[in-house]
C-alpha cells in the first residue's frame, strides 16, 4: 500500500484551501507593492523639498562656486556682520547659514568655516558642501605652490586592470557583482523559504496533536510516511504560494510603475549611481550584463539551485517537523527553535561575508560541505566556478543527511506525537531516540 500520494494530496489541499493561507497569498503582494510605492512616493517628496542656504563669504574666494541646484538654493550675502546674517537666516526660515571668515592663510581658513542651522544638518548635504569647499581650497593651494591644476588633471590616468582567468576567460567587476547577486538571491530565497514554510510544517504537526487525530492516522500509516507526506505536501503548497507571489508582484509592479508613473529607481538609495551609469550609456551596460550572464554557468546554476534548494529545504523541514512532534503547543517551541535557526543564520553570515570576500577560501569550502550550511554557501559559491565533483559531493552529503534526519525526526515523531501535556526537555527527547 502506498499512501504517500494520498497524504501529500490531503496536506496540500488543506493548506491551499485554508482561509488565512489564501488571504496571505493574495494580500502579501499588494502589501509589498503598496509599501514599495509608498517608499517611492515618500522619497520623491523628500527630493522635492528645497533647502535654502545663505552664504556669508568674507574671504571672497568662493563667490563663483555656489551654484544652486533644484534641491539646494544658495543666497550670497554681502556687507553684513555674522550676527546680522544669523538673524536674517533665522527670520527668513533659511535652512542654514554657511560662514566663511577672512583669514591670513588657507590653512587657517580650513579650520574656521562654520555652518549654522536650526537642527543638525543633513549629512549628505554637508558632505556635498565640504567636498566643494575642499576642492576649491586645494586648487587654490596648488596655485599658491605654482602648480597648474589643469596640468594635473590632464596628467591623471585611470586604471582598471583587465581580469582574466588562467584559461583565458575574461572576468570583470561587473561579472563578480552579477555572480554575487545570483548567489545572494538564491541563498536569501532559500533562507526565507525555510523560515516561512518550516514553521508551517511545524504548525501542521502540532495541529494533528492538539486535535488528537494523530493516533487514528498512525494506526493506518507509518509515522515516517506521514512525516514525508507532510513535508512534501507543505512544500508544494509553499511553492504554489511563492509562484503566485512572484507573478502577482511582477504584474502589480508593472501596473504601479506605469499608472502612477513612479520610477522604480527613485525608491532605491543608490539613485545617484544608477543615474551616473545611465549617463554612461544604457545600451552599453545592458549589453555588458547580457554578456556576463552568458558567461555564467547557467545550466549548472539552475540544476544545482534546484537540488540545493530542495535538499536544504527538506533537511530543515524535517527538523521543524520533529520540533512540532516534541511539543504540545506553539508557545513551547521557543527552546527548540534556536538550534535550528543558528546554523541557518551562520550559513547566511558565512555566505554574505566570507564567500563574497573569498569564494574559494578554506572557510567557504568547509561550510559548503556541511549539510546545514551547504545549501546557502554552495549556492553562493557556484557562480564563481566550483568544480562539478565538489558540487556533487556536497549534494550527496546533503541528501544523505536529509535521509538520516528523516529517520531521526521520525523517531522523535513517533514518540512525541503520542505524548500529551508535558513539556519535554532535551534529555527526554534524547531518550525517545532509544525507544
Partner 1 sequence: MEKLLVVNNVSKVYGDYKALNNVSIEVEKGSIFGLLGPNGAGKTTLIRIINQITMPDTGSVILDGEPLKPHHIQYIGYLPEERGLYKTMKVGEQALYLAQLKGLSKQEAKERLKYWFDRLEIGDWWDKKIQELSKGMAQKIQFVVTVLHKPKLLIFDEPFSGFDPINANLIKDEILKLRDDGATVIFSTHRMESVEEMCDHIALIHKSNKILDGRLVDIKRQYKNNVFEIGLITPNHAATSALLKEKFEVYPATFKSINDELQYKVKIPDSVSTNDFVNYLTSQGQLTHFVEVIPSASDIFIETIQKN
Give the binding site for partner 1 (CB under 8 A).
Answer: 1, 3, 6-7, 10, 14, 18, 208, 211-213, 215-222, 414, 418, 420, 431, 434-435
> Least CB distance from residue 243 to partner 1, whole Å?
24
Q: Which is nearer to partner 1, 26 or 430 (CB)?
A: 430
Helix (H, G, I), strand (E, B) or coil at 264: helix
- Is 27 in contact with 250 (CB distance < 8 Å)? no
Q: Which is nearer to partner 1, 24 or 142 (CB)?
A: 24
Strands of the sheet containing 96-100, edge to edge, are: 72-77, 51-57, 96-100, 114-117
Q: Which is nearer to partner 1, 207 or 332 (CB)?
A: 207
> Least CB distance from residue 196 to partner 1, whole Å?
20
Look at residues 248, 209, 250 and name the one whose alpha carbon lies nearest to residue 230. Answer: 209
Look at residues 90, 98, 91 and name the one whose alpha carbon lies nearest to residue 73. Answer: 98
Report the C-alpha gap between 334 and 327 in whole angstroms: 10
Report the C-alpha gap between 412 and 435 in whole angstroms: 9
> Least CB distance from residue 314 to partner 1, whole Å?
23
> Least CB distance from residue 295 to partner 1, whole Å?
51
> Least CB distance from residue 423 to partner 1, whole Å?
17
CB under 8 A, 24+ apart: contacts of 59-64: 59/100, 59/101, 59/102, 59/103, 59/109, 60/102, 61/100, 61/109, 61/136, 61/140, 62/100, 62/133, 62/136
Q: Which is nearer to partner 1, 219 or 272 (CB)?
A: 219
C-alpha torsion sign, points 331, 336, 342, 347: negative
> Least CB distance from residue 431 to partner 1, whole Å?
5
Q: Which is nearer to partner 1, 3 or 136 (CB)?
A: 3
Q: Which is nearer to partner 1, 360 or 431 (CB)?
A: 431
96-100/51-57 β-pairing? parallel
Q: Which is nearer to partner 1, 61 or 236 (CB)?
A: 236
> Least CB distance from residue 215 to partner 1, whole Å?
4
> Least CB distance from residue 14 to partner 1, whole Å?
7
- Which residues, 6 or more positions from 88, have their beta carbon under 8 angstroms from its beta carbon? 54, 77, 80, 94
End-to-end C-alpha distance for the chain, whole angstroms: 26
How many alpha carbons fall within 13 Å on the CB side of residue 299? 1
Q: Which is nearer to partner 1, 86 or 224 (CB)?
A: 224
Amino acid at each position: 500500500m502506498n499512501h504517500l500520494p494520498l497524504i501529500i494530496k490531503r496536506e496540500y489541499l488543506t493548506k491551499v484551501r485554508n482561509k488565512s493561507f489564501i488571504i496571505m497569498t493574495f494580500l502579501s503582494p499588494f502589501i509589498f507593492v503598496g509599501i514599495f510605492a509608498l517608499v517611492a512616493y515618500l522619497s520623491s517628496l523628500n527630493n522635492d523639498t528645497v533647502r535654502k542656504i545663505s552664504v556669508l563669504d568674507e574671504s571672497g574666494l568662493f563667490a563663483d562656486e555656489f551654484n544652486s541646484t533644484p534641491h539646494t538654493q544658495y543666497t550670497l550675502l554681502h556687507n553684513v556682520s555674522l550676527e546680522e546674517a544669523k538673524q536674517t537666516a533665522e527670520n527668513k526660515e533659511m535652512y542654514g547659514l554657511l560662514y566663511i571668515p577672512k583669514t591670513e592663510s588657507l590653512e587657517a581658513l580650513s579650520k574656521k568655516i562654520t555652518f549654522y542651522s536650526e537642527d543638525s544638518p543633513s549629512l549628505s548635504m554637508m558632505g556635498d558642501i565640504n567636498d566643494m569647499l575642499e576642492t576649491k581650497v586645494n586648487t587654490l593651494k596648488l596655485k599658491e605652490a605654482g602648480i597648474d591644476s589643469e596640468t594635473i588633471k590632464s596628467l591623471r590616468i585611470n586604471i582598471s586592470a583587465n581580469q582574466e582567468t588562467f584559461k583565458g576567460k575574461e572576468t570583470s567587476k561587473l561579472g563578480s557583482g552579477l555572480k554575487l547577486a545570483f548567489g545572494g538571491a538564491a541563498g536569501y530565497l532559500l533562507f526565507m523559504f525555510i523560515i516561512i514554510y518550516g514553521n508551517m510544517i511545524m504548525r501542521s504537526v502540532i495541529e494533528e496533536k492538539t486535535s488528537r487525530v494523530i493516533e487514528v492516522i498512525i494506526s493506518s500509516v507509518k509515522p515516517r510516511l506521514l512525516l514525508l507526506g507532510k513535508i512534501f505536501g507543505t512544500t508544494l503548497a509553499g511553492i504554489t504560494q511563492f509562484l503566485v507571489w512572484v507573478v502577482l508582484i511582477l504584474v502589480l509592479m508593472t501596473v504601479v510603475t506605469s499608472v502612477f508613473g513612479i520610477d522604480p529607481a527613485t525608491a532605491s538609495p543608490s539613485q545617484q549611481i544608477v543615474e551616473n551609469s545611465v549617463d554612461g550609456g544604457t545600451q552599453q551596460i545592458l549589453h555588458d550584463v547580457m554578456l556576463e550572464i552568458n558567461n555564467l554557468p547557467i545550466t549548472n546554476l539552475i540544476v544545482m539551485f534546484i537540488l540545493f534548494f530542495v535538499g536544504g529545504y527538506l533537511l530543515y523541514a524535517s527538523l521543524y517537523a520533529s520540533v512540532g512532534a516534541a511539543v504540545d503547543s506553539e508557545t513551547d517551541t521557543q527552546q527548540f527553535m534556536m538550534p535550528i535557526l543558528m546554523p541557518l543564520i551562520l550559513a547566511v553570515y558565512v555566505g554574505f561575508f566570507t564567500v563574497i570576500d573569498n569564494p574559494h577560501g578554506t572557510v567557504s569550502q568547509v561550510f559548503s560541505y556541511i549539510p546545514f550550511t551547504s545549501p546557502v554557501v554552495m549556492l553562493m559559491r557556484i557562480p564563481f566556478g566550483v568544480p562539478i565533483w565538489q558540487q556533487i559531493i556536497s549534494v550527496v552529503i546533503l541528501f544523505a543527511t536529509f535521509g538520516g534526519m528523516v529517520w531521526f525526526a521520525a523517531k522523535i515523531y513517533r514518540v512525541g506525537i503520542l505524548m500529551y501535556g508535558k513539556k519535554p526537555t532535551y534529555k527526554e527527547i534524547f531518550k525517545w531516540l532509544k525507544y
